[in-house]
Structure 1
Amino acid sequence: MRCRSAKKLMSIVVLCLSGFFGHPGAAQEQIDIGVLQMTFEENFDKLDVSAWGENGSRWIAHTPWNGDFGDARFTDPADGFPFTVDSGILRIEARKGSDGNWRSGLLASTNAKGQGFSQQFGYFEARMKLPPGKGVWPAFWLIGIDRSKYTAEIDVMEYYGRVPYEFSSGYHIWRQSQGGENTTDGHWTTVEDGTLSNEYHTYGVEISPEKTIIYLDRKSIWSFETPKEFHTPFYPLVNLALGSGWPIDETPDPSFLLVDYIHVYQRKPTGSGD
């Protein structure tokens, strides 16, 4: 999520889904939710969030390592901003303040001490409606809990409002700060223009010891061999950032990312009756 250098290397795929353009021979396997059991359920009937996990809140409003990115500062939660919930929908708002600075919101499920929810392997999914407009940069992503030797990152979905007909998925293993070389790869998915901001869609990733698969609306769009660095618990993050190197002078003020839910699953034990 922090590096755009891999962007030009990402491949483009056109999906054959309801409302999406077709691509002959595109294989799309659908994930079988029936063989999974839910381990984390956030339906946003209410929001349990604090700046840094005070009183054991379920979410914090910053990256645990306190690293901002983009052109909007991720702000502490306050009454009505940047997070509101209504009828089971979380709204993350990006807004320009009277000082001329943009502020927005991010949620992470662990705090700086590693306390909170994380899980090794399994299926992580968010259902969202993305904001329209140039300059918006929403994302659903995962970070490995142990950052002592490297940082493992999976970008399930990153969207750039200047191109409303595609989004990117990718992964990174950040080793450079420890003297190693980074590993990165990614994939572009092309969709019907505007559908991601007009409708809700699910964005998911299943991590297994052998293979990692990215899903759109529970149909596979990209997969890769699971790196050994991904044999670790991951925790989910969701945010509405701005910019990513692109101008924000035409970004709608305010802009909203709508999140219906974030769910995490794991495979049921072999022989389970359900």
Structure 2
Amino acid sequence: MAPIAFRNKSTITLSYVIATPDGGVFVWINDLSSALRSTNHDADHYIAPTVKNETYCKNVLFVTGPEGVYSGAVRTLPIKDHDGNVKAAGYTHGFGYYEIRCKLPDVEGIWHAFWMMCGNVYSVENGSTDGVEIDVFEYLPALDAVNVALHWDGYDEAHKNAHKRYEKTKLADGKYHTFGMNWDESGYAFYIDGRKVWKSTGDGVCYENGYMKISTEYGEWGDWVGKLDLKDLPVDWVIDYVKIYDKK
């Protein structure tokens, strides 16, 4: 695979990572079959919670952006009823290697991401050691860019972040691609198609488990997402799997 090209025509050489880092042990997979639907994840919708926009077909998840103004996600946060009682355990995890395999839609105005919420992201007391949002990847269609990032200290005035962006990636090509993140005591390392693209510790490595979220969002996100043309709808973001590996 050719190296990812920046907008300024420079390139970056990316190092390889094996499929299961350091001989990791496979600990969890969501192959997105209907049998997992009520136990591993629930639906989360940003604008129209009464309408579900994920469908399952032969172990592949289609997160669909239909005509209208809503978007949605699936997440592994524990599912609770109206009284706060846990109906399904969901799934949380800490150190390990996380990977998603998917096809990116070549449509502007819709933003796709695989991310985690770990510990208390809203805490402003201990840097990112007690809570961090980990963006394994975000696809920014107007720039044909992949962004990887860490966010901590909440989302108000104290908010801090670290990120790396790669533009003109040519990844919305109708083919499957993988986006991965290895989280351990040394920090967070991010991978695109098995190649290491960035590593950071933020403001200290978080030791708190987190839940995963696969989201597709529609909204006014600026020049890096672009404007949605309704003629392009519906849009399917096709996801093959999410996997997690632990070290031995």
Relative distance call for 1:137 and 1:175 in structure 2 (3 A) is closer
2:71 to 104, 116, 123: 104
1:74 Cα deviation (Å)?
5.5
1:191 Cα deviation (Å)?
4.6
For these two proteins, the number of residue pairs brought into alignment is 227
Alpha-carbon distance in structure 1 between the residues aligned to 2:174 and 2:193: 15
Alpha-carbon distance in structure 1 between the residues aligned to 2:111 and 2:155: 25
Relative distance call for 1:20 and 1:249 in structure 2 (3 A) is closer
Q: Which runs of 5+ in 1 are unaligned?
A: 1-16, 51-56, 269-274
Alpha-carbon distance in structure 1 between the residues aligned to 2:54 and 2:198: 31
TM-score (norm 1): 0.72
2:136 to 145, 156, 161: 156
Contact 2:121-2:152 within 8 A present in 1 as well: no
- Alignment partner, residue 127 of structure 2: none
1:121 Cα deviation (Å)?
0.8
1:48 Cα deviation (Å)?
3.7
1:129 Cα deviation (Å)?
0.6
1:206 Cα deviation (Å)?
0.6
Relative distance call for 1:46 and 1:184 in structure 2 (3 A) is same
AA aligned opposite 1:174: D
- Alignment partner, residue 135 of structure 1: 109
1:224 to 200, 214, 226: 200
Contact 2:118-2:133 within 8 A present in 1 as well: yes
Contact 1:207-1:226 within 8 A present in 2 as well: no
1:199 Cα deviation (Å)?
1.1
1:58 to 28, 31, 40: 40
TM-score (norm 2): 0.79
1:92 to 63, 82, 102: 63
CA shift digits 1:167-215 (9 cap, x unpaired):
11111003466xx72220110123543x334211010101111121000
Relative distance call for 1:225 and 1:19 in structure 2 (3 A) is closer
Q: Which runs of 5+ in 2 are unaligned?
A: 81-85, 125-130
1:263 Cα deviation (Å)?
0.7
Q: Does 1:189 align with 2:177?
A: no
- Alignment partner, residue 13 of structure 1: none
- Alignment partner, residue 6 of structure 1: none
1:167 to 126, 146, 152: 146
* Secondary structure of the structure 1 residue equivalent to 2:140: coil
Q: Which moved more, 1:128-137 or 1:109-118?
A: 109-118
AA aligned opposite 1:62: D
Q: Percent identity?
A: 19
1:139 Cα deviation (Å)?
0.4
Relative distance call for 1:129 and 1:176 in structure 2 (3 A) is closer
1:112 Cα deviation (Å)?
6.2
